[in-house]
Structure 1
């Protein structure tokens, strides 16, 4: 189940059954596999070798529903797109309430959703993408990425609900017909079997052609790049996604999702130390904080170079003045996560240095980028909540797009 550079298979949704669910009955088997501490032990396990074909089916699997209960009200209007890392959907009641009450979400034409659970205890063992599709009246395709062998990450261990399926991935929800689709496996920086949230598989980007009428197609890509890696590695992942769009109709392309442009290299302790030293020597502490809102200028430049080399633009597609996530040193869950990869002494120092900002600083991790499209009204919805519960650590981002007349010509 290692990532592959081979061109992924392309499927035509119109030729497939109207609905498909991704399911399995490996519950006890997954518990036994999770007991292995190292990948090499797992590979030597005869049971794992027997189960491997089924595991490959799952980590490369899709689910979908072609039905669109509530089509676009005005086919001539600009396309309304939103992207949101919904943090598993683990605060689902609040998530549902926010989406239902926000016109830019409930009435969106395209929803690029990342971090979606299917049958995970931490999110109530819901099929999060399917439930959100029903809520919004949209069709959907879900691309699975992982079979999760743990209750969750370091801050999600104590909910006490067993996983029924243990699946996690990304999805596109659409109010327009979806034609062909594929998913690109992204190269992993570290083996997630050894992560705190032990899992099999790898991140995948979902790419699909959307029929916008009059013979026009917009190809969209739902992207979630690796936070525990360098900017160069994130750029490598993104280049693989952008190369795959060429196999589809790539005259009009919209890429959206969580690019994890944190400006940090969290792939290793030495890399993180060098990264921090570089920042402080070059910009000082205050200047380093300001870089969080403009990652494209210095520390995440390789990611944006990958977009530019493919002819995609971010200018006009994003609200440049509003963060899409907040680094909040007062957040108990963030404290638990951060202490899992930085020394407590560094954390205490960081808390002191961020006191002038109230311990909260904005960052820009989530992006849209387009080619052959005219962007309109980019926006961010800050810290949406319901009943006093913040839905996700990320903010949803929005952009309306129109087809540009000068979309890339096809041979």
Structure 2
């Protein structure tokens, strides 16, 4: 990790970093990864962002949604984790905090091989004095042709109330999208048969029609991480799978290849 720190001393702790990307038009097929990285700490207790980056790079994704990301937090050696991962993957990035934590910031991040047009973080409903949740909205492509990529991490408690309220907020945000293609990824803390996922299914397609286990990483027993898309009729799922890596984080990553139907 020291080598990473030294190589990134010149990178300032900004919320976003846009690199030069040759590809401006949206590809017909888009490779997506969603990954709750547990601030880079694996099931072996080691903080290793190079390991996280290796998992991502193996999939050659166009877009990556990351949950539980630290920026300048003591427990993760004060690293600017989004900047480190952007450097290690060669991708653009956006990070937005949802809470201050342990001397730094904690939230969601997006890595993109596509040009980033704009980004905005939206707070989600919070029912109690605890962790503020958010949904990070990133528009990628160019002004002529773009899509919205949303990354979120919903409440973990057994009661679905806050998660359902969060869906209402997300639906409100999407009301003005005017049919624009949208992909939503993240740790939704809900199993496929839950009311939460049934509610999402009313307006979103899902990469996997049958449940696939993503958590806990060492021996996955349930799916709580998802790749969703809308309008559902305008996307075709080419491929999806859970990533075969159970040490780098406490979640398994998930990937999907989505093809736009014209």
TM-score, length-scaled by structure 1: 0.54
Aligned to 1:9: none
Q: Cα deviation per residue 1:133-187 (whole Å; 9 max; x = unaligned)? A: 1111111111111012xxxxxxxxxxxxxx4x32101011111111132221111
Q: Cα deviation per residue 1:103-142 (whole Å; 9 max; x = unaligned)? A: 444x211010010011112211111111101111111111
Higher alpha-carbon Rg: 1
- Asked if 1:296 is matched to 2:192, the reply is yes
Aligned to 2:205: 313
User: SS at the partner of 2:201?
Assistant: helix
- Asked if 1:373 is matched to 2:235, the reply is yes
**Matched residues, number:** 246
> Where do 5+ consecutive residues of structure 1 fail to align?
1-18, 23-62, 149-162, 193-200, 262-294, 329-359, 385-389, 406-411
What root-mean-square deviation, in Å, do the aligned CA atoms of Structure 1 and Structure 2 show? 2.7
Shift of 1:323: 0.7
> Where do 5+ consecutive residues of structure 2 fail to align?
1-10
Which protein is richer in strand relative to its size?
Answer: 2
User: SS at the partner of 1:243?
Assistant: helix
TM-score, length-scaled by structure 2: 0.83
The 2-side partners of 1:74 and 1:218 are apart by: 11
Aligned to 2:87: 134
Shift of 1:90: 3.1
> CA 1:205–1:324 in structure 2 vs 1: closer, same or farther (change >3 Å)?
same
Aligned to 1:256: 185
User: SS at the partner of 1:325?
Assistant: coil
Q: Aligned ranges for residues 6-405 of structure 1 at < 5 Å?
A: 21-22=13-14, 63-68=15-20, 71=22, 76=27, 78-91=29-42, 94-100=48-54, 103-105=57-59, 107-148=60-101, 163=102, 165-192=103-130, 202-211=132-141, 215-248=144-177, 250-261=179-190, 295-297=191-193, 300-301=194-195, 303-309=196-202, 311-314=203-206, 317-318=207-208, 320=210, 322-326=212-216, 362-371=221-230, 372-384=234-246, 390-405=247-262
Aligned to 2:4: none
> CA 1:126–1:71 in structure 2 vs 1: closer, same or farther (change >3 Å)?
farther
> CA 1:101–1:363 in structure 2 vs 1: closer, same or farther (change >3 Å)?
closer
The 2-side partners of 1:181 and 1:247 are apart by: 16
Q: Cα deviation per residue 1:269-291 (whole Å; 9 max; x = unaligned)? A: xxxxxxxxxxxxxxxxxxxxxxx
